[in-house]
Amino acid sequence: MKEEPKRRVTVHIDSLVLKGFRYEDRHAVAQGLQEQLTEMLSAPDMVEGISQTGTIPRLRVAPVNVAADARPKQIGIATANGIGKGFGR
């Protein structure tokens, strides 16, 4: 049985603008975002869906609601989940 070639998804984030966050929290927010996006976009069904869609130059994301006491990394994760919803996940 012939194995299908692995598909690859490349995401470019030119900048991450964080307003209303402490300067010290920027790395934790970005880490949560990166880790969750990596996990989501690695899923075979997500890769297949994106590869069928093709290039997406800009993705609008609905507002992301997080608890007032959320830790910075949790905020990054919630943001990535919002992006996943933009992909129809």
| pLDDT higher than 60, residue 62 | yes
| pLDDT higher than 90, residue 57 | no
Residue 10 lies in a domain: no
State residue 26's pLDDT score.
Answer: 93
Residue 81 lies in a domain: yes
- Residue range(s) defining the domain that contains residue 75: 23-53+60-86
Residue 49 lies in a domain: yes
Domain count, the chain: 1
pLDDT tens, 1-51? 666 666 667 777 788 888 888 999 999 999 999 999 999 888 878 877 777
Residue 69 lies in a domain: yes
Helix axes 26-42, 72-86, angle to 10 degrees: 40
State residue 43's pLDDT score.
Answer: 82
Q: Which pTM does this prediction carry?
A: 0.77
Residue 17 lies in a domain: no
